[in-house]
Chains A and B, each alone.
Chain A
Amino acid sequence: MSNEGCGAPAGGFTVTADAAGKEAIVEGHVTVGGAPASTGYARLRGSDDEFVAEVPLGEDGGFRFFAAPGEWTLVVLAPGGVREERVVPAAIGSVTKVEVAV
């Protein structure tokens, strides 16, 4: 998988030990009815509702973002009209875990 594009690999990139110390990471999983949401999308919006990034959910319903430090709104979209929002913080050198159960 290329990391040169602006694309959105399912579930995001693997976090290396090096990256984990330098990046502000937001990651987590989405479940619908108790099962992983393997089809769906997670997107980050900024404080002024500005779109920041979007990834398709992985097979395990997982997602990961490399964000700038700050507060973001996580939006989860899935079939059946599922749409959930969460406010999440991000800080350099830490991994913010978000579990979304619908």
Chain B
Amino acid sequence: MSRSDVLVDADWVESKIGEPGVAIVEVDEDTSAYDKGHIPSAIKIDWKKDLQDPVRRDFVDKAGFEALLSERGISNDDTVVLYGGNNNWFASYAYWYFKLYGHSNVLLLDGGRKKWELDSRELTTKVEPRPATAYAASDQDSAIRALRDEVVSSIGAKNLVDVRSPDEFTGRLLAPAHLPQEQAQRAGHVPTARNIPWSKAANEDGTFKSDDELKELYGEAGVDFSKDTIAYCRIGERSAHTWFVLHEILGQANVKNYDGSWTEYGSLVGVPIELGEAR
């Protein structure tokens, strides 16, 4: 996997609007963004309502994912082009999610909604539902998802990449600065984790930095590319952005996203936690 296999630019997406076999999908936490205006022909997926189990803290199961994509008119053969706000956080999360359930042809719009908007490209409020399909998902690919026990056993053994802000990493904040402070019971980070905020991988317009810049970023921050890696943040969407960088753009093998992330780890009883700067 490399950059050209997984990332597309806005010109490419504009040329594919309305093309059969291409499904453009906006994924945001705040779906009012889609309602205010979206890329022509794009459909929407709500990362929480559509992708999370309504009762348990987990994903929708395989049958649920199949039902969702069938209802939204996405077929197994479609090329899915994902984009969204927040510098593609939730689009990256959805990308990882599509891969988790085995969708083969998924692409991410570089820069996402932000660059599209800043470039003053066309947005529409017209909703164009796609005809229903009979989508068949694969079983979850456990090679790209880390659960809590694996995170605990990886302390001091694998690369643990904490992609939250330095204030969250050191324990000064429990959540990003644009949200009320809440969630995990304890602040801090997983011992031996390196703090490499997701934002360092992105340019100000939301596009990803160059391969050379990315390799230098993670290498200088202490990521050993010969080791397996687990990325985490607060709920797993910023770390999906970093998973995308390491696994999809840079082609690193054995990179997992820990979607339980700090809201789970920081509430576990008895696990080790470090405060302050990385040691």
Binding site for B on A (CB under 8 A): 1-10, 12-13, 19, 22-23, 39-41, 43-44, 46, 50-56, 64-68, 75, 77-80
Shortest beta-carbon distance from A46 to chain B in Å: 7
Residue of B nearest to A24 (CB): B177
Of A9, A46, A50, the contact of B29 (CB 8 Å cutoff): A9
With A6-B235, A7-B89 given, is the CB distance from A79 to B180 under 8 Å? Answer: no
Of A39, A55, A80, the contact of B178 (CB 8 Å cutoff): A55
Q: Considering the chains assembled together, what is the distance between the CA atoms of A6 and B163 in angstroms?
A: 12
Shortest beta-carbon distance from B138 to chain A in Å: 26
For B205, what are the chain A residues with a Cβ–Cβ distance below 8 Å? 77
For B263, what are the chain A residues with a Cβ–Cβ distance below 8 Å? 4
CB contacts between A and B, total, < 8 Å? 113
Q: Considering the chains assembled together, what is the distance between the CA atoms of A3 and B175 in angstroms?
A: 11
Among B64-72, B111-119, B220-228, B267-275, the one that faces the other chain is: B111-119
Per-residue A-contact encoding for B161-188, CB less than 8 Å = 1, 0 else: 0000111000011011111111100000
Q: Considering the chains assembled together, what is the distance between the CA atoms of A86 and B176 in angstroms?
A: 20
B: number of interface residues (CB 8 Å): 42
Tell me whether B118 and A79 are in contact (CB under 8 A).
yes
Tell me whether A68 and B177 are in contact (CB under 8 A).
yes
Tell me whether B177 and A6 are in contact (CB under 8 A).
no
With A6-B237, A78-B118 given, is the CB distance from A68 to B173 under 8 Å? Answer: yes
Tell me whether A6 and B175 are in contact (CB under 8 A).
yes
Residue of B nearest to A8 (CB): B86
- Interface: B42 (CB within 8 A): no
With A2-B48, A52-B165, A75-B204 given, is the CB distance from A8 to B85 under 8 Å? Answer: yes
Q: Considering the chains assembled together, what is the distance between the CA atoms of A82 and B47 in angstroms?
A: 30
- Interface: B135 (CB within 8 A): no
- Interface: B40 (CB within 8 A): no
Top 5 nearest A-B pairs (CB, nearest first) are A7-B29, A51-B199, A53-B177, A53-B178, A5-B29
Tell me whether A41 and B177 are in contact (CB under 8 A).
no
A sample of 6 more A-B contacts (CB under 8 A), given A6-B86, A8-B86, A23-B180, is A6-B234, A7-B29, A51-B200, A64-B178, A66-B180, A67-B177
